Structure 1
Amino acid sequence: MISEPEMTGGFDAPDDREVLDLAAPTPADRAPRTPRRWAKGLWALGGAVVASALWATAFVVYAPADRTPDLHGYRLDRDPCPDIRLKSIGAAIAPREPEDPIDSRMLRHAALDRTHCLISLRPEGGEAQEDEGWSLHYSVAITIALHKETDPRAEFEAGRNETELGVDPQTEVEEVPDLGDRAYLLSMEDDACELRVLEGGAVLSLRLAAYASYNDDGNGPPMSGGDEEVPDLAPYQPAMISDMHDLMAGLKG
Protein backbone atom coordinates (compact mmCIF):
# COMPACT_ATOMS: atom_id res chain seq x y z
CA MET A 1 0.00 0.00 0.00
CA ILE A 2 1.42 3.41 -0.96
CA SER A 3 1.61 5.91 1.96
CA GLU A 4 0.15 9.37 1.74
CA PRO A 5 2.87 11.87 0.80
CA GLU A 6 1.98 14.30 3.59
CA MET A 7 2.46 11.64 6.26
CA THR A 8 5.98 10.68 5.32
CA GLY A 9 7.42 13.93 4.16
CA GLY A 10 7.31 12.23 0.84
CA PHE A 11 7.42 14.21 -2.34
CA ASP A 12 7.50 17.67 -0.60
CA ALA A 13 10.57 16.92 1.59
CA PRO A 14 13.40 19.32 0.87
CA ASP A 15 16.55 17.95 -0.74
CA ASP A 16 19.47 17.82 1.68
CA ARG A 17 21.71 19.22 -1.01
CA GLU A 18 19.60 22.41 -1.07
CA VAL A 19 20.12 23.18 2.68
CA LEU A 20 22.79 25.88 3.12
CA ASP A 21 25.09 25.88 6.11
CA LEU A 22 25.46 29.57 6.93
CA ALA A 23 28.38 28.86 9.22
CA ALA A 24 30.37 27.17 6.52
CA PRO A 25 33.06 29.29 4.88
CA THR A 26 32.29 30.73 1.49
CA PRO A 27 34.41 29.89 -1.52
CA ALA A 28 36.18 33.21 -1.09
CA ASP A 29 37.19 32.30 2.48
CA ARG A 30 38.70 28.93 1.55
CA ALA A 31 42.43 28.66 1.04
CA PRO A 32 43.35 28.17 -2.60
CA ARG A 33 44.34 24.59 -3.57
CA THR A 34 47.24 23.59 -5.67
CA PRO A 35 46.02 21.96 -8.88
CA ARG A 36 46.44 18.15 -8.73
CA ARG A 37 47.98 17.73 -12.12
CA TRP A 38 49.07 14.16 -11.35
CA ALA A 39 45.52 12.93 -10.86
CA LYS A 40 44.76 12.77 -14.54
CA GLY A 41 47.98 10.94 -15.26
CA LEU A 42 47.35 8.52 -12.39
CA TRP A 43 43.90 7.73 -13.65
CA ALA A 44 45.27 7.23 -17.14
CA LEU A 45 47.96 4.90 -15.83
CA GLY A 46 45.48 3.00 -13.70
CA GLY A 47 43.15 2.64 -16.66
CA ALA A 48 45.96 1.29 -18.78
CA VAL A 49 46.91 -1.25 -16.13
CA VAL A 50 43.32 -2.41 -15.73
CA ALA A 51 42.87 -2.59 -19.48
CA SER A 52 46.06 -4.62 -19.83
CA ALA A 53 44.95 -7.01 -17.11
CA LEU A 54 41.56 -7.46 -18.71
CA TRP A 55 43.14 -8.01 -22.12
CA ALA A 56 45.53 -10.59 -20.71
CA THR A 57 42.66 -12.38 -18.98
CA ALA A 58 40.57 -12.31 -22.13
CA PHE A 59 43.49 -13.67 -24.12
CA VAL A 60 44.06 -16.56 -21.71
CA VAL A 61 40.38 -17.45 -21.55
CA TYR A 62 39.24 -16.81 -25.08
CA ALA A 63 42.29 -16.90 -27.34
CA PRO A 64 42.45 -20.22 -29.18
CA ALA A 65 45.53 -22.22 -28.22
CA ASP A 66 47.47 -24.15 -30.82
CA ARG A 67 47.06 -27.67 -29.51
CA THR A 68 47.58 -29.49 -32.79
CA PRO A 69 49.99 -32.33 -31.97
CA ASP A 70 53.21 -32.79 -33.91
CA LEU A 71 53.04 -35.95 -36.03
CA HIS A 72 56.83 -36.01 -36.52
CA GLY A 73 56.43 -36.95 -40.17
CA TYR A 74 54.18 -39.99 -39.62
CA ARG A 75 51.75 -40.61 -42.45
CA LEU A 76 49.04 -43.12 -43.30
CA ASP A 77 48.46 -42.39 -46.95
CA ARG A 78 47.81 -46.07 -47.58
CA ASP A 79 47.42 -49.27 -45.61
CA PRO A 80 50.89 -50.22 -44.33
CA CYS A 81 49.91 -53.71 -43.15
CA PRO A 82 50.94 -55.63 -46.30
CA ASP A 83 54.45 -54.16 -46.12
CA ILE A 84 55.17 -54.92 -42.46
CA ARG A 85 57.86 -57.59 -42.44
CA LEU A 86 58.58 -58.16 -38.71
CA LYS A 87 62.16 -59.15 -39.42
CA SER A 88 63.29 -59.57 -35.81
CA ILE A 89 60.19 -61.42 -34.61
CA GLY A 90 60.27 -63.51 -37.77
CA ALA A 91 63.89 -64.48 -37.10
CA ALA A 92 63.13 -65.37 -33.49
CA ILE A 93 59.84 -67.23 -34.08
CA ALA A 94 58.86 -67.68 -37.71
CA PRO A 95 59.05 -65.52 -40.84
CA ARG A 96 55.88 -64.04 -42.16
CA GLU A 97 54.84 -65.38 -45.52
CA PRO A 98 54.08 -62.54 -47.96
CA GLU A 99 51.10 -64.37 -49.39
CA ASP A 100 49.47 -64.94 -46.01
CA PRO A 101 46.21 -62.99 -45.67
CA ILE A 102 46.29 -60.09 -43.25
CA ASP A 103 43.30 -58.84 -41.32
CA SER A 104 43.69 -55.06 -41.65
CA ARG A 105 41.22 -52.27 -40.89
CA MET A 106 41.90 -48.64 -41.72
CA LEU A 107 40.19 -45.40 -40.70
CA ARG A 108 40.76 -42.05 -42.40
CA HIS A 109 39.34 -38.91 -40.79
CA ALA A 110 40.21 -35.23 -40.45
CA ALA A 111 40.86 -35.74 -36.73
CA LEU A 112 42.32 -39.26 -36.73
CA ASP A 113 43.98 -41.75 -39.05
CA ARG A 114 44.15 -45.27 -37.69
CA THR A 115 44.90 -48.76 -38.92
CA HIS A 116 44.96 -52.18 -37.29
CA CYS A 117 46.83 -55.22 -38.57
CA LEU A 118 46.59 -58.82 -37.38
CA ILE A 119 49.38 -61.11 -38.57
CA SER A 120 49.51 -64.83 -37.81
CA LEU A 121 52.74 -66.78 -37.37
CA ARG A 122 53.09 -70.54 -37.21
CA PRO A 123 56.61 -71.82 -36.79
CA GLU A 124 57.53 -74.98 -38.66
CA GLY A 125 59.14 -77.60 -36.43
CA GLY A 126 60.87 -76.72 -33.18
CA GLU A 127 58.27 -74.83 -31.17
CA ALA A 128 55.50 -75.85 -33.53
CA GLN A 129 55.55 -79.36 -32.19
CA GLU A 130 52.38 -81.30 -32.65
CA ASP A 131 52.20 -83.32 -29.48
CA GLU A 132 49.05 -85.33 -29.13
CA GLY A 133 47.28 -83.08 -31.60
CA TRP A 134 48.36 -79.70 -30.15
CA SER A 135 49.86 -76.98 -32.37
CA LEU A 136 51.51 -73.77 -31.25
CA HIS A 137 50.68 -70.46 -32.94
CA TYR A 138 51.69 -66.83 -32.55
CA SER A 139 49.92 -63.67 -33.57
CA VAL A 140 51.12 -60.10 -33.91
CA ALA A 141 48.59 -57.27 -33.65
CA ILE A 142 49.73 -53.79 -34.70
CA THR A 143 47.75 -50.59 -34.19
CA ILE A 144 48.80 -47.20 -35.54
CA ALA A 145 46.84 -44.06 -34.63
CA LEU A 146 47.69 -40.56 -35.80
CA HIS A 147 45.87 -37.92 -33.74
CA LYS A 148 45.72 -34.77 -35.87
CA GLU A 149 43.65 -32.44 -33.68
CA THR A 150 44.05 -33.46 -30.04
CA ASP A 151 47.13 -34.41 -28.04
CA PRO A 152 46.86 -38.08 -26.95
CA ARG A 153 49.51 -37.82 -24.21
CA ALA A 154 47.09 -37.69 -21.25
CA GLU A 155 45.07 -40.69 -22.47
CA PHE A 156 48.27 -42.61 -23.24
CA GLU A 157 49.58 -42.14 -19.71
CA ALA A 158 46.20 -42.88 -18.13
CA GLY A 159 45.94 -46.23 -19.93
CA ARG A 160 49.50 -47.39 -19.41
CA ASN A 161 48.44 -50.53 -17.50
CA GLU A 162 45.11 -51.11 -19.23
CA THR A 163 44.64 -54.27 -21.28
CA GLU A 164 41.90 -55.44 -23.61
CA LEU A 165 40.07 -56.80 -20.56
CA GLY A 166 40.47 -53.63 -18.49
CA VAL A 167 42.97 -52.67 -15.82
CA ASP A 168 44.79 -55.76 -14.60
CA PRO A 169 46.87 -55.31 -11.42
CA GLN A 170 48.86 -58.41 -12.37
CA THR A 171 50.14 -56.81 -15.58
CA GLU A 172 53.79 -55.81 -15.37
CA VAL A 173 54.59 -52.42 -16.93
CA GLU A 174 58.15 -51.49 -17.80
CA GLU A 175 59.28 -48.22 -19.36
CA VAL A 176 61.38 -48.60 -22.52
CA PRO A 177 64.05 -45.92 -22.97
CA ASP A 178 65.06 -44.25 -26.25
CA LEU A 179 61.84 -45.07 -28.04
CA GLY A 180 59.57 -42.18 -29.07
CA ASP A 181 58.54 -39.67 -26.42
CA ARG A 182 57.38 -42.42 -24.07
CA ALA A 183 57.17 -46.20 -24.41
CA TYR A 184 55.88 -48.98 -22.16
CA LEU A 185 56.19 -52.75 -22.39
CA LEU A 186 53.35 -54.70 -20.80
CA SER A 187 53.69 -58.33 -19.79
CA MET A 188 50.26 -59.89 -19.32
CA GLU A 189 49.10 -63.11 -17.75
CA ASP A 190 47.10 -64.10 -20.82
CA ASP A 191 50.27 -65.20 -22.69
CA ALA A 192 50.79 -61.84 -24.38
CA CYS A 193 53.23 -58.92 -24.41
CA GLU A 194 52.43 -55.48 -25.75
CA LEU A 195 54.73 -52.61 -26.64
CA ARG A 196 53.12 -49.15 -26.68
CA VAL A 197 54.82 -46.02 -28.00
CA LEU A 198 53.85 -42.35 -27.97
CA GLU A 199 55.58 -39.81 -30.21
CA GLY A 200 53.81 -36.49 -30.59
CA GLY A 201 50.37 -37.23 -31.98
CA ALA A 202 51.30 -40.78 -33.00
CA VAL A 203 50.39 -43.77 -30.82
CA LEU A 204 51.64 -47.19 -31.89
CA SER A 205 51.29 -50.62 -30.34
CA LEU A 206 52.67 -54.05 -31.15
CA ARG A 207 51.14 -57.01 -29.34
CA LEU A 208 52.64 -60.48 -29.46
CA ALA A 209 50.50 -63.39 -28.28
CA ALA A 210 50.93 -67.14 -28.22
CA TYR A 211 48.24 -69.77 -28.17
CA ALA A 212 47.87 -73.49 -28.68
CA SER A 213 45.19 -75.12 -30.80
CA TYR A 214 44.10 -78.72 -30.94
CA ASN A 215 43.95 -80.50 -34.26
CA ASP A 216 40.66 -82.24 -33.70
CA ASP A 217 40.49 -85.72 -35.22
CA GLY A 218 37.05 -86.33 -33.88
CA ASN A 219 38.16 -87.57 -30.48
CA GLY A 220 38.67 -84.15 -28.87
CA PRO A 221 41.64 -83.05 -26.74
CA PRO A 222 43.03 -85.38 -24.10
CA MET A 223 41.13 -85.27 -20.83
CA SER A 224 44.19 -85.28 -18.57
CA GLY A 225 46.39 -82.76 -20.32
CA GLY A 226 44.06 -79.80 -20.37
CA ASP A 227 45.21 -76.83 -22.42
CA GLU A 228 48.70 -77.05 -23.84
CA GLU A 229 51.15 -74.67 -22.17
CA VAL A 230 52.68 -71.93 -24.28
CA PRO A 231 56.26 -70.70 -23.91
CA ASP A 232 57.28 -67.55 -22.07
CA LEU A 233 57.29 -64.52 -24.37
CA ALA A 234 59.88 -62.50 -22.42
CA PRO A 235 62.77 -63.68 -24.65
CA TYR A 236 61.02 -62.10 -27.66
CA GLN A 237 60.70 -58.63 -26.16
CA PRO A 238 63.98 -57.32 -27.70
CA ALA A 239 62.70 -58.48 -31.10
CA MET A 240 59.46 -56.57 -30.50
CA ILE A 241 61.39 -53.38 -29.74
CA SER A 242 63.56 -53.84 -32.84
CA ASP A 243 60.55 -54.32 -35.11
CA MET A 244 58.87 -51.29 -33.55
CA HIS A 245 61.88 -49.18 -34.49
CA ASP A 246 61.58 -50.44 -38.08
CA LEU A 247 57.84 -49.80 -38.14
CA MET A 248 58.22 -46.22 -36.89
CA ALA A 249 60.94 -45.45 -39.44
CA GLY A 250 58.85 -46.86 -42.29
CA LEU A 251 55.82 -44.73 -41.41
CA LYS A 252 57.66 -41.41 -41.58
CA GLY A 253 57.32 -39.67 -44.91
Structure 2
Amino acid sequence: MITEPELDGEWEPARPAEVVQDTVVPGARAPRRPWQWVVAAVVATSALWAGGLYAFGDRTAEPEIRYRVTDDLCGQFKAPTLEGLLGGLSTAVPEVGSRHAALDWASCTRSSDRPVSSGTFYLTAAIELHKKTDPAAEFPLDTPLSRMFVHDGGWESVPGLGEEALVTPTGTGDGLQLRVRDGGAVFTIIVSMLGGAGSSDPRVDPLPDPDREALVAAAAEDARALMAALRTS
Protein backbone atom coordinates (compact mmCIF):
# COMPACT_ATOMS: atom_id res chain seq x y z
CA MET A 1 0.00 0.00 0.00
CA ILE A 2 1.02 3.60 -0.33
CA THR A 3 2.45 5.38 2.62
CA GLU A 4 4.48 8.46 3.27
CA PRO A 5 8.22 7.77 3.05
CA GLU A 6 9.75 6.71 6.24
CA LEU A 7 13.15 8.33 6.26
CA ASP A 8 15.16 10.03 8.98
CA GLY A 9 16.44 13.58 8.57
CA GLU A 10 15.31 16.61 6.60
CA TRP A 11 14.78 16.75 2.87
CA GLU A 12 17.88 18.29 1.25
CA PRO A 13 17.50 18.49 -2.54
CA ALA A 14 20.92 20.16 -3.00
CA ARG A 15 22.80 17.24 -1.51
CA PRO A 16 22.98 13.80 -3.17
CA ALA A 17 20.71 11.34 -1.42
CA GLU A 18 22.38 8.73 0.71
CA VAL A 19 21.52 5.22 -0.35
CA VAL A 20 20.25 3.11 2.53
CA GLN A 21 20.45 -0.61 2.10
CA ASP A 22 17.79 -2.84 3.60
CA THR A 23 19.04 -5.67 5.74
CA VAL A 24 17.56 -8.88 4.41
CA VAL A 25 17.00 -11.63 6.94
CA PRO A 26 19.44 -14.52 6.28
CA GLY A 27 18.07 -17.80 5.07
CA ALA A 28 17.17 -19.44 1.79
CA ARG A 29 13.99 -18.29 0.10
CA ALA A 30 11.53 -20.69 -1.43
CA PRO A 31 10.63 -20.19 -5.12
CA ARG A 32 8.09 -17.42 -5.61
CA ARG A 33 4.54 -18.42 -6.42
CA PRO A 34 1.76 -16.43 -8.16
CA TRP A 35 0.70 -13.36 -6.13
CA GLN A 36 3.78 -13.45 -3.92
CA TRP A 37 5.65 -11.09 -6.23
CA VAL A 38 2.66 -8.75 -6.11
CA VAL A 39 3.07 -8.26 -2.38
CA ALA A 40 6.79 -7.58 -2.72
CA ALA A 41 6.14 -5.10 -5.53
CA VAL A 42 3.49 -3.28 -3.50
CA VAL A 43 5.96 -2.72 -0.67
CA ALA A 44 8.74 -1.56 -3.00
CA THR A 45 6.45 0.70 -5.02
CA SER A 46 5.11 2.17 -1.79
CA ALA A 47 8.49 3.54 -0.77
CA LEU A 48 9.31 4.96 -4.21
CA TRP A 49 5.93 6.58 -4.85
CA ALA A 50 5.74 8.08 -1.40
CA GLY A 51 9.10 9.78 -1.91
CA GLY A 52 7.34 12.39 -4.00
CA LEU A 53 4.77 13.01 -1.28
CA TYR A 54 7.46 13.52 1.33
CA ALA A 55 9.01 16.39 -0.64
CA PHE A 56 5.79 18.38 -0.38
CA GLY A 57 4.55 17.59 3.10
CA ASP A 58 5.59 17.36 6.72
CA ARG A 59 6.30 14.09 8.45
CA THR A 60 3.58 12.73 10.66
CA ALA A 61 4.11 11.35 14.14
CA GLU A 62 5.57 7.89 14.54
CA PRO A 63 2.75 5.31 14.70
CA GLU A 64 2.05 3.04 17.63
CA ILE A 65 3.77 -0.33 17.21
CA ARG A 66 1.39 -3.07 18.33
CA TYR A 67 2.57 -5.99 16.21
CA ARG A 68 5.67 -7.94 15.29
CA VAL A 69 6.88 -9.27 11.93
CA THR A 70 7.86 -12.92 11.90
CA ASP A 71 10.30 -14.64 9.53
CA ASP A 72 7.76 -17.42 8.91
CA LEU A 73 4.39 -15.77 8.45
CA CYS A 74 2.93 -19.08 7.27
CA GLY A 75 3.44 -20.37 10.80
CA GLN A 76 0.97 -17.76 12.04
CA PHE A 77 -1.29 -17.53 8.99
CA LYS A 78 -3.20 -20.82 8.99
CA ALA A 79 -6.35 -19.34 7.37
CA PRO A 80 -8.72 -21.99 8.79
CA THR A 81 -11.89 -20.10 7.85
CA LEU A 82 -10.89 -19.55 4.23
CA GLU A 83 -9.62 -23.12 4.02
CA GLY A 84 -12.99 -24.41 5.18
CA LEU A 85 -14.71 -22.29 2.54
CA LEU A 86 -12.34 -22.92 -0.38
CA GLY A 87 -11.03 -26.40 0.36
CA GLY A 88 -7.56 -27.52 1.40
CA LEU A 89 -4.74 -24.95 1.21
CA SER A 90 -1.93 -27.30 2.13
CA THR A 91 0.88 -25.73 0.08
CA ALA A 92 2.55 -22.88 2.00
CA VAL A 93 5.42 -20.67 0.80
CA PRO A 94 6.82 -18.04 3.21
CA GLU A 95 8.68 -14.90 2.15
CA VAL A 96 10.74 -13.35 4.94
CA GLY A 97 10.78 -9.96 3.21
CA SER A 98 13.17 -7.46 4.78
CA ARG A 99 13.88 -5.57 7.97
CA HIS A 100 14.62 -1.85 7.97
CA ALA A 101 14.61 0.97 10.49
CA ALA A 102 11.56 2.39 8.70
CA LEU A 103 9.66 -0.67 7.47
CA ASP A 104 9.55 -4.42 8.15
CA TRP A 105 7.50 -6.80 6.04
CA ALA A 106 6.85 -10.47 5.40
CA SER A 107 4.34 -12.53 3.42
CA CYS A 108 2.94 -16.02 3.02
CA THR A 109 1.28 -17.69 0.03
CA ARG A 110 -1.00 -20.68 0.48
CA SER A 111 -2.53 -22.72 -2.33
CA SER A 112 -4.37 -25.96 -2.86
CA ASP A 113 -2.81 -29.10 -4.30
CA ARG A 114 -5.76 -29.82 -6.57
CA PRO A 115 -5.26 -31.15 -10.12
CA VAL A 116 -4.27 -28.37 -12.49
CA SER A 117 -7.33 -28.92 -14.69
CA SER A 118 -9.64 -28.00 -11.82
CA GLY A 119 -8.03 -24.65 -11.08
CA THR A 120 -6.37 -23.50 -7.89
CA PHE A 121 -7.08 -20.97 -5.20
CA TYR A 122 -4.13 -18.80 -4.20
CA LEU A 123 -4.22 -17.04 -0.87
CA THR A 124 -1.57 -14.45 0.04
CA ALA A 125 -1.17 -12.67 3.36
CA ALA A 126 1.32 -9.89 4.07
CA ILE A 127 2.17 -7.61 6.95
CA GLU A 128 3.91 -4.24 6.65
CA LEU A 129 5.13 -2.68 9.89
CA HIS A 130 5.64 1.07 9.47
CA LYS A 131 7.90 2.36 12.23
CA LYS A 132 8.59 5.98 11.29
CA THR A 133 5.41 7.45 9.81
CA ASP A 134 1.74 6.69 10.31
CA PRO A 135 0.22 4.89 7.29
CA ALA A 136 -3.26 6.28 7.99
CA ALA A 137 -3.12 9.27 5.63
CA GLU A 138 -2.63 7.29 2.42
CA PHE A 139 -4.32 4.05 3.45
CA PRO A 140 -7.58 4.63 1.46
CA LEU A 141 -5.74 5.51 -1.76
CA ASP A 142 -5.35 3.18 -4.72
CA THR A 143 -1.84 2.76 -6.04
CA PRO A 144 -1.10 2.30 -9.77
CA LEU A 145 -0.07 -1.27 -9.01
CA SER A 146 -3.18 -2.13 -7.02
CA ARG A 147 -5.43 -0.88 -9.83
CA MET A 148 -3.98 -3.60 -12.05
CA PHE A 149 -5.41 -6.29 -9.79
CA VAL A 150 -8.64 -4.90 -8.39
CA HIS A 151 -12.11 -4.45 -9.83
CA ASP A 152 -13.50 -1.07 -10.87
CA GLY A 153 -16.03 -1.29 -8.05
CA GLY A 154 -13.59 0.42 -5.69
CA TRP A 155 -13.00 -0.16 -1.98
CA GLU A 156 -15.70 -0.86 0.59
CA SER A 157 -15.34 -0.46 4.34
CA VAL A 158 -15.27 -3.54 6.59
CA PRO A 159 -16.43 -2.58 10.10
CA GLY A 160 -15.01 -3.98 13.32
CA LEU A 161 -11.57 -4.88 11.98
CA GLY A 162 -8.55 -2.89 13.16
CA GLU A 163 -8.68 0.90 12.98
CA GLU A 164 -9.65 0.78 9.31
CA ALA A 165 -10.35 -2.04 6.88
CA LEU A 166 -11.15 -1.97 3.15
CA VAL A 167 -12.06 -4.70 0.69
CA THR A 168 -12.44 -4.86 -3.10
CA PRO A 169 -12.96 -7.62 -5.68
CA THR A 170 -9.96 -8.69 -7.73
CA GLY A 171 -9.85 -7.99 -11.44
CA THR A 172 -11.22 -11.44 -12.31
CA GLY A 173 -14.22 -10.89 -10.05
CA ASP A 174 -13.89 -14.27 -8.28
CA GLY A 175 -11.51 -13.16 -5.52
CA LEU A 176 -10.83 -10.23 -3.28
CA GLN A 177 -8.20 -8.03 -1.70
CA LEU A 178 -8.63 -7.09 1.97
CA ARG A 179 -6.46 -4.44 3.65
CA VAL A 180 -6.45 -3.71 7.38
CA ARG A 181 -4.67 -0.88 9.20
CA ASP A 182 -4.03 -0.89 12.93
CA GLY A 183 -1.43 1.48 14.38
CA GLY A 184 1.70 1.21 12.24
CA ALA A 185 0.74 -2.20 10.85
CA VAL A 186 -0.96 -2.85 7.53
CA PHE A 187 -2.23 -6.36 6.78
CA THR A 188 -3.15 -7.49 3.26
CA ILE A 189 -5.00 -10.65 2.26
CA ILE A 190 -5.48 -11.51 -1.42
CA VAL A 191 -7.70 -14.38 -2.58
CA SER A 192 -7.61 -15.40 -6.23
CA MET A 193 -8.62 -18.35 -8.37
CA LEU A 194 -6.35 -19.29 -11.28
CA GLY A 195 -7.24 -21.67 -14.11
CA GLY A 196 -9.92 -24.31 -14.23
CA ALA A 197 -12.60 -22.19 -15.85
CA GLY A 198 -15.07 -24.26 -17.77
CA SER A 199 -13.42 -27.58 -16.99
CA SER A 200 -15.65 -30.46 -18.07
CA ASP A 201 -13.48 -33.34 -16.84
CA PRO A 202 -15.89 -35.57 -14.84
CA ARG A 203 -12.96 -36.94 -12.82
CA VAL A 204 -12.19 -33.53 -11.35
CA ASP A 205 -14.35 -31.89 -8.72
CA PRO A 206 -15.16 -28.26 -9.55
CA LEU A 207 -13.76 -25.50 -7.39
CA PRO A 208 -16.01 -24.20 -4.61
CA ASP A 209 -17.89 -21.06 -5.62
CA PRO A 210 -18.66 -19.10 -2.43
CA ASP A 211 -20.66 -15.90 -2.66
CA ARG A 212 -18.87 -12.61 -2.05
CA GLU A 213 -20.39 -12.01 1.38
CA ALA A 214 -19.14 -15.37 2.66
CA LEU A 215 -15.70 -14.79 1.14
CA VAL A 216 -15.34 -11.35 2.74
CA ALA A 217 -16.49 -12.69 6.11
CA ALA A 218 -13.99 -15.57 5.95
CA ALA A 219 -11.10 -13.29 4.94
CA ALA A 220 -11.97 -10.87 7.76
CA GLU A 221 -12.06 -13.68 10.31
CA ASP A 222 -8.67 -15.02 9.23
CA ALA A 223 -7.22 -11.50 9.22
CA ARG A 224 -8.46 -11.03 12.76
CA ALA A 225 -6.81 -14.32 13.81
CA LEU A 226 -3.50 -13.32 12.17
CA MET A 227 -3.57 -9.94 13.93
CA ALA A 228 -4.17 -11.62 17.27
CA ALA A 229 -1.24 -14.02 16.68
CA LEU A 230 1.18 -11.17 15.90
CA ARG A 231 -0.03 -8.63 18.43
CA THR A 232 2.49 -7.59 21.07
CA SER A 233 0.51 -5.02 23.08
TM norm structure 1: 0.57
Query: Which amino acid is the alignment partner of residue 184 of structure 1?
Result: L
Q: Work out the CA distance in 1 between the residues paired with 2:167 and 2:226.
A: 16
Match of 1:195?
178
Q: Work out the CA distance in 2 between the residues paired with 1:188 and 1:230.
A: 17
Match of 2:88?
95
Residue 248 of structure 1 aligns to a residue whose secondary structure is helix
Unaligned runs of 5+ in 2: 1-57, 201-205
Does the Cα contact within 8 Å between 1:82 and 1:102 map onto a contact in 2? no
Cα pair distance change 1:91/1:167, threshold 3 Å: closer
Cα pair distance change 1:105/1:165, threshold 3 Å: farther
1:114 alignment partner, one of 77, 89, 105: 105
- The offset of 1:237, in angstroms, is 1.6
Q: Work out the CA distance in 1 between the residues paired with 2:150 and 2:85.
A: 30
Residue 189 of structure 1 aligns to a residue whose secondary structure is coil
> Cα RMSD over matched residues?
3.1
Does the Cα contact within 8 Å between 1:196 and 1:205 map onto a contact in 2? yes
The structure whose Rg is larger is 1
Q: Work out the CA distance in 2 between the residues paired with 1:164 and 1:104.
A: 23
Structure having greater relative contact order (Cα 8 Å, sep ≥ 6): 2
Match of 1:244?
223
Identity of aligned residues (%): 27
Residue 237 of structure 1 aligns to a residue whose secondary structure is helix
- The offset of 1:144, in angstroms, is 0.4
The structure in which a higher percent of residues are helix is 1
Query: Which amino acid is the alignment partner of residue 252 of structure 1?
Result: R
- The offset of 1:157, in angstroms, is 1.8
Q: Work out the CA distance in 1 between the residues paired with 2:181 and 2:106.
A: 16
Moved over 4 A (4+): none
1:174 alignment partner, one of 145, 150, 156: 156
Cα pair distance change 1:77/1:173, threshold 3 Å: closer
Residue 142 of structure 1 aligns to a residue whose secondary structure is strand
- The offset of 1:196, in angstroms, is 0.6
- The offset of 1:117, in angstroms, is 1.5
- The offset of 1:246, in angstroms, is 0.2
Residue 137 of structure 2 aligns to a residue whose secondary structure is helix
Cα pair distance change 1:198/1:160, threshold 3 Å: farther
1:149 alignment partner, one of 117, 132, 141: 132
Residue 60 of structure 2 corresponds to residue 69 of structure 1: no
Q: What are the superposed Cα offsets for residues 149-184 of structure 1, whole Å, 9 maximum, x if unpaired?
A: 01111221222897251775x234210111111101
Match of 1:78?
71
